[in-house]
Amino acid sequence: MNLKAKSGEKLPVGILGATGSVGQKFIQLLANHPWFEITALAASERSSGRAYKDVANWFMRTPIPEHIARMEIRQCHPDLPCKIVFSGLDASVAGEIETDFARAGYVVLSNARNHRMDSDVPLLIPEVNSAHLELVHRQNFGKGMIVTNPNCSVIGFVMALKPLADQFGIEAAHVVTLQALSGAGYPGVASLDILDNVIPFISGEEGKIESEPLKILGEYGNGAVRNADFKLSAHCNRVAVIDGHLECVSVTLKKKTTTDAIKSAWRHFSGEPQQFALPLAPLQPIHYFEETNFPQPKLHRDLDKGMAVSIGRLRPCTIFDYKFVLLSHNTIRGAAGGAILNAELMLKKGIIKSDSLKD
Amino acid sequence: MNLKAKSGEKLPVGILGATGSVGQKFIQLLANHPWFEITALAASERSSGRAYKDVANWFMRTPIPEHIARMEIRQCHPDLPCKIVFSGLDASVAGEIETDFARAGYVVLSNARNHRMDSDVPLLIPEVNSAHLELVHRQNFGKGMIVTNPNCSVIGFVMALKPLADQFGIEAAHVVTLQALSGAGYPGVASLDILDNVIPFISGEEGKIESEPLKILGEYGNGAVRNADFKLSAHCNRVAVIDGHLECVSVTLKKKTTTDAIKSAWRHFSGEPQQFALPLAPLQPIHYFEETNFPQPKLHRDLDKGMAVSIGRLRPCTIFDYKFVLLSHNTIRGAAGGAILNAELMLKKGIIKSDSLKD
Amino acid sequence: MNLKAKSGEKLPVGILGATGSVGQKFIQLLANHPWFEITALAASERSSGRAYKDVANWFMRTPIPEHIARMEIRQCHPDLPCKIVFSGLDASVAGEIETDFARAGYVVLSNARNHRMDSDVPLLIPEVNSAHLELVHRQNFGKGMIVTNPNCSVIGFVMALKPLADQFGIEAAHVVTLQALSGAGYPGVASLDILDNVIPFISGEEGKIESEPLKILGEYGNGAVRNADFKLSAHCNRVAVIDGHLECVSVTLKKKTTTDAIKSAWRHFSGEPQQFALPLAPLQPIHYFEETNFPQPKLHRDLDKGMAVSIGRLRPCTIFDYKFVLLSHNTIRGAAGGAILNAELMLKKGIIKSDSLKD
Amino acid sequence: MNLKAKSGEKLPVGILGATGSVGQKFIQLLANHPWFEITALAASERSSGRAYKDVANWFMRTPIPEHIARMEIRQCHPDLPCKIVFSGLDASVAGEIETDFARAGYVVLSNARNHRMDSDVPLLIPEVNSAHLELVHRQNFGKGMIVTNPNCSVIGFVMALKPLADQFGIEAAHVVTLQALSGAGYPGVASLDILDNVIPFISGEEGKIESEPLKILGEYGNGAVRNADFKLSAHCNRVAVIDGHLECVSVTLKKKTTTDAIKSAWRHFSGEPQQFALPLAPLQPIHYFEETNFPQPKLHRDLDKGMAVSIGRLRPCTIFDYKFVLLSHNTIRGAAGGAILNAELMLKKGIIKSDSLKD
């Protein structure tokens, strides 16, 4: 492999939807990335031509990186000075734009829902289903390709289910989410709607949680993913938390087991990101807490760079076999960080070829 | 019946644990009650002898009623100038004190958990199991008796389940709660623990939710309650909401039915409090909302004097038969208001005899 | 006087900007008003022709009144079936529309800032400057007229200053506000911007606080108001409170006095609304609290129907003479309730003639 | 100088009040300190003898450092294995215990208020009044000494005033604070008291803000500090913010100047911590923001390791000369971080002699 990243030169990348909340998180996480360097910011037509700092309502807790602040925003046309783009585009426009970029030879790492369920598009969590990356060879985009990461509520959920699926088999999983405000983007939820309140509904979210995991946990073979087959039921709530989706999960397993065996499965869970020591990989993907009242969004969302999943309160359930609580950072592991980890894995595995990106 | 309440004279009542959060709510709700009049406030020894306003850290949104503010606090000894006491005592002391009062001939309406599961103590929701009031005849307290109301998370849950149990039968019910801060009393949850956070654990709460409904929905016969027999599983969370417990419920029914039939069962649900038009009875015990994102704590907790249960989002479940959201006011319907409604019913049915209270 | 209100018939009124947050508050407060009856709802063109409940994102804590829910929304043209309109219009459109209505003979009670500082428009707080109502005779609108109420931060501030101005004279007043979210309308402040945060700036607000009080406290004579003459300085913050603006005030008085004399001035403060017992008048316009940590938004904003001003912590200041804290409900006293009280006073004083409204 | 810190060996330090909120922050900030190493944790008698992790209700967002978690807690007796102690003790006990430690030869860096105003105790902000450190030579504790840092609201305030005092002179300063919850310690403010609320009072706080700055900005000469002489007035509020005290300040200066000159004074402000490049020193002590709505607690409290002061909104005042907003992190710059910076400076200047700490 001949990674520019190794030779000290970083790979140029672009951000689509750079002014939005996911776009800002991409910028923040890529600011000091060892392999990637932001060379293009693209957003809607009305922002193009202006300096990033004059357009973006920046609300990250670290300042806008200097060179990004002054960078001119471009339109989302496939003429950007890079060959990899991270897309934080809104679903209302992402579908077409991302396809345009792939057709033009760009590697598109998308956070939007539009292409997630396409049969030739990997819906990727590197620790869980890196084999699905093979799907990109079925895409007809030449050098270009589209790889997606799952919905922000799905990533932590599936990471918790994966070791259980592998070791015990899953028959049914029921999840009630308590989701953070940042999941709704910016401006997103009005303060008058959520202070001293809970909103027991998030548009479209339950459908995603009831479908995406089946694809992610599906088996790859003969050029296709065969969806996993178990029952999934979700109920989604929005709560007054800034970052970090908490989920109350109940599962029925195929093989009977013990809480100790399950905790052990979680604690030993690991995948290619850990094996390759990817820059954004959590050292330990799943942290199990024995404290009776953990995990909590404020205390544990930033664990391991915000890329780890925290689990606690595993206990028998009178209806299902077991129940537990999990937490993952929705805009890092569940969005921008997840997409960057996808790109890191693709680069390491040679699916993104740094040579071909040179020209 | 010869109710003083009817003749213009009100029945004297006392509040045990008058300075605590449930005690304050009792005072607020009884301030203008047509049948009852507070004549005694009792609290811990260190408060006794002092004026109520000098001891209570009053945090209700209406001012302390004038005559209550000046009333001297007494100890929790059964020598109070009344024959009915509402107990907002903490469980650490409620058991013994309530027994002492019952033995001394007082009618004790308790909000504490201590006697709830005693086989001869009604665990009462007037719309649901007024027949259980017969249990008091098995108590050996002479004129005295103890009647309890359920845990604050249980009342709304059971009111939602009751019409389903009656018309379709229940096989299993799974509930994830998002509970308000006032449920933890005062000072209760530290602000540093809950701002921008969720606590996925409430000590002892899940056990109560998994046991109390079976007694409440049990059948009375031959001087005893035979518990209902279905599977119950609960997961409890504390969220940054002041009042109003929200619950995400999934149920499996014995008879197959439709969402319309279920909504109809809820909307037509009614009981003795409505029949007798008790002062604190909600006009309609269950309100079903068709809006996709209702009910919400801030918007609906005060519905019908805070005594109604709000339900929404009824839809099929891939694992259970149906899922829905419910909301009830935890310190009104779920605590002080519930206990007062119990007393109103007992008075109306002659279980509390106003004559005998005279002497 | 021949008020329909007296004869059992209510006066028909319209709401301009009926779907916005001030519009909703008008509807809520007028729902059971003894003198007024809503007969027209007007909003922007895109809402017109549709039922109110289908357009308004209603977020009041009481349900939409039944007949309002079904009422068809009209455009803001002066052809509404009423002669009095309450305007909750946004300042971007209020100026012209309100003038159009006044020209067409409507009495316009406006909550917008556009006409507040017009020399012939009363900027009215009924307890403070009812004499300014004479200004309407200088308006050239025939039967029509425009009367405005002050900015939501100004009303409580000026009510606190008025008795001091009358009895001791004011030389300078410095105010730092902690303003509620509802002051920004709906959707207003994004939850991500205010949870765990303060925003130390509110666009245009400081200018209003530094100018409006001088007009309100000015003297009426010879058909004009001569502005009061003292120094005013304001600093405005937005805080995570739903309703109720809190203000930290420091004042220098012309005559030396005592804290007792000031408290007495506040407690005895009263005006025409109290004298006429207007429906929405607070029984006591200013409540002074002796508690060291009062007033507080959550506890006192609803005092006296949300129409009273709460004050506390009066103490000497090392730089000014005195400092204190005040609180008033920004959407009731500070907006819709204030405008309704204005209308009540105008009706009672015959400035709105119910006869002329008949035709 | 012969600092162990330079030779790779760290200086052993102890934490008094190690389980409290300031104690936890000390532990967090010292976890990877290049010069200091925690060798002793002391707390109240009932905690002593137990492992830190079993006693402390740890609520920092980073985990307890491993070796601290297992460390046994000791009593606050001057027999700890170190010669420097950081005190996060509550004022109710700090006075005597700190004196005991100083008498026993310990260098005490105190965050408590007890000794702050003692005439021979430096009330130190290293950028502001390092000359005051000479006061320790007047203390009669042998090798021992006590150095204090100011109240959490005072540090940022004085850092903003210092360059103004030096260049223009101060005649009067008026401050209204909006203080974070963490300033009240843990459990501190009850969630029911602050959600949807502001508390316009903090016990004892205004007195500290009106006195401590005069000592800190006083001149050292002839073995004593002569207090600065200008008028100070404070009003304190508690708001629903986790960390970061925001302050609205108005000042009158002795010399007339311009906003540009003031901004320049702030931006160029620097002191010994910057000159010596102390480990916890902010690179730039004061950041001035030109954005109209900055600084904000959530966005700027962590600036420069939480050790910088953020200022914005400088503008003329109609009563004073200028007004502005400042923000500083109350538990880092305003407490534990401030005390550590004090120790760093004392070590660098040889007031703490690492040699003498050896034995």
**Amino acid occupying residue B285:** P
End-to-end CA distance of chain A: 17
Torsional class of C49: left (φ above 0), alpha (ψ -120 to 50), beta (otherwise): left
Residue written as token pair 């060798």:
D39
Mean pLDDT of A103-130: 97
Query: Given A152, A174, A236, A300, which residue is catalytic?
Result: A152
Chain B residue with minimum CA distance to D185: B192
Q: Between chains, do B240 and D59 touch, taking CB under 8 Å as contact?
A: no
CA gap B264, B275 in Å, rounded: 19
Contact D32, D92 (CB under 8 A): no
Q: How open is the CA angle D250-D251-D253, to the nearest 5 degrees?
A: 165
CATH class of C152-329: alpha beta
Residues whose CB is less than 8 angstroms from the CB of residue D7 and which lie 6 or more positions away in sequence, other chains included? none
Reply yes or no on whether C174 is catalytic: no
Secondary structure element (H or E) that encloses residue C8, with its range: none
Q: Between chains, do A188 and C190 touch, taking CB under 8 Å as contact?
A: yes
Q: Transcribe D3-55 into DSSP letters.
A: -HHHHTPPEEEEEETTTSHHHHHHHHHHTT-SSEEEEEEEE-GGGTTSBHHHH
Radius of gyration of chain D (CA): 20
Distance from CA of A62 to the nearest CA of D (A): 7
Torsional class of B69: left (φ above 0), alpha (ψ -120 to 50), beta (otherwise): alpha
Closest CA to D189 of A197, B59, B54: B59
Average pLDDT, chain D: 95
* Order of strands across the sheet that contains A11-16: A73-75, A36-43, A11-16, A84-87, A107-110, A145-148
Q: What is the pLDDT of residue C353?
A: 84
Helices A259-267 & A152-167 angle (0-180, nearest 10)? 120
Reply yes or no on whether D152 is catalytic: yes
Secondary structure element (H or E) that encloses residue D151, with its range: none
Interface test with C, best of B61, B241, B243, B302 (most C CBs within 10 A): B61
From the list A191, A196, A240, the residue facing C190 with the nearest CB is A191
Q: Between chains, do D246 and C313 touch, taking CB under 8 Å as contact?
A: no
A195 to chain D: which residues are within 8 Å by CB? 195-196
Residue B238 has pLDDT above 60, yes or no: yes
At D162-220, the pLDDT tens digits run: 999 999 999 999 999 999 999 999 999 999 999 999 999 999 999 999 999 999 999 99
Closest CA to D144 of D110, D103, D98, D186: D103
What topology does CATH give the domain A152-330?
Answer: Dihydrodipicolinate Reductase; domain 2 (3.30.360)
Percent of chain A with pLDDT over 90: 93
CA distances from D352 to D82, D85, D109 (A): 13, 12, 11
A190 to chain C: which residues are within 8 Å by CB? 186-191
Tokens of B90: 């903490």
Strand-pair partners of C224: C221
Strands A322-328 and A309-316: antiparallel
CA gap A65, A330 in Å, rounded: 22
Chain B residue with minimum CA distance to D187: B190
Closest CA to A115 of A145, A80, A73: A145
Residues whose CB is less than 8 angstroms from the CB of residue C295 and which lie 6 or more positions away in sequence, other chains included? C246, C287, C289, C310, C311, C312, C325, C326, C327, D200
Chain centroid offset of residue C296 CA: 20
A61 to chain D: which residues are within 8 Å by CB? 298-299, 302
Query: Given D152, D174, D236, D287, which residue is catalytic?
Result: D152
D195 to chain B: which residues are within 8 Å by CB? 181, 191, 194-195, 240, 242
Q: What is the pLDDT of residue B184?
A: 96
How big is the B-D interface in CB pairs under 8 Å?
60
* Chain C touching partners, 3 or more CB pairs below 8 A: A, B, D
CA distances from A322 to A252, B167, B196, C20, C124 (A): 7, 30, 28, 47, 65
Q: Fill in the DSSP letter of residue D143.
A: T
Distance from CA of A287 to the nearest CA of D (A): 12
pLDDT class for C357, splitting at 50, 70, 90?
low
B287-315: b (≥16 Cβ within 10 Å) or e: bbbeeebbbbbbbbbbbbbbbbbbbbbbe
Query: Given B152, B236, B300, B329, which residue is catalytic?
Result: B152
The CA dihedral of B282, B286, B287, B292, to the nearest 10 degrees, is 150
Where along chain C do its domains lie? Answer: 11-151+336-348, 152-329
At A161-191, the pLDDT tens digits run: 999 999 999 999 999 999 999 999 999 999 9
Chain B residue with minimum CA distance to D182: B192
* Chain D touching partners, 3 or more CB pairs below 8 A: A, B, C
Q: What is the pLDDT of residue C355?
A: 66
Q: Fill in the DSSP letter of residue A190.
A: B
CA gap C153, C68 in Å, rounded: 29
Distance from CA of D35 to the nearest CA of B (A): 31
Interface test with B, best of D61, D182, D189, D192 (most B CBs within 10 A): D192
- Secondary structure, 3-state, C203-228: CCHHHHHHHHHHHHCCEEECCEEECC
CA gap A292, A325 in Å, rounded: 11
Q: How open is the CA angle D57-D60-D61, to the nearest 5 degrees?
A: 130
Task: Read off φ and ψ for residue C23, nearest 5 degrees.
Answer: -60, -45
Query: Given B33, B245, B287, B329, which residue is catalytic?
Result: B245
Q: With an 8 Å Cβ cutoff, is A290 touching chain D?
A: no
Average pLDDT, chain A: 95
Mean pLDDT of B71-90: 97
CA gap C331, A157 in Å, rounded: 43
Helices B205-216 & B152-167 angle (0-180, nearest 10)? 40
Residue B2 has pLDDT above 70, yes or no: no
Residue C3 has pLDDT above 90, yes or no: no
Q: What is the pLDDT of residue C59?
A: 86
Residue written as token pair 């301030």:
B31
Radius of gyration of chain C (CA): 20
Q: With an 8 Å Cβ cutoff, is C314 touching chain D?
A: no
pLDDT class for B357, splitting at 50, 70, 90?
low
Residues whose CB is less than 8 angstroms from the CB of residue A17 and which lie 6 or more positions away in sequence, other chains included? A23, A42, A43, A76, A87, A88, A89, A90, A94
D195 to chain A: which residues are within 8 Å by CB? 195-196
- Cα dihedral sign for D56, D57, D60, D65? positive
Closest CA to D28 of D225, D275, D207, D280: D280
At D208-241, the pLDDT tens digits run: 999 999 999 999 999 999 999 999 999 999 999 9
Tokens of B227: 């518990």
Residue C138's SS3 state is helix
Chain D residue with minimum CA distance to C295: D200
At B149-169, the pLDDT tens digits run: 999 999 999 999 999 999 999
Strand segments, DSSP code E, in chain A are 11-16, 36-43, 73-75, 84-87, 107-110, 145-148, 170-179, 219-221, 224-226, 231-238, 245-253, 286-289, 309-316, 322-328
CA distances from D2 to D11, D36, D85, D126, D347 (A): 12, 15, 20, 22, 10
CATH class of A4-151+336-348: alpha beta
Strand-pair partners of D233: D174
Q: What is the pLDDT of residue B358?
A: 42
* Neighbour count for residue A44 (Cβ, 10 Å): 17
CATH class of C11-151+336-348: alpha beta
From the list C61, C195, C298, the residue facing B299 with the nearest CB is C61
At C91-149, the pLDDT tens digits run: 999 999 999 999 999 999 999 999 999 999 999 999 999 999 999 999 999 999 999 99
Q: What is the pLDDT of residue C2?
A: 35
* Chain B touching partners, 3 or more CB pairs below 8 A: A, C, D
**Amino acid occupying residue C111:** N
How big is the B-C interface in CB pairs under 8 Å?
12
Contact D271, D196 (CB under 8 A): no
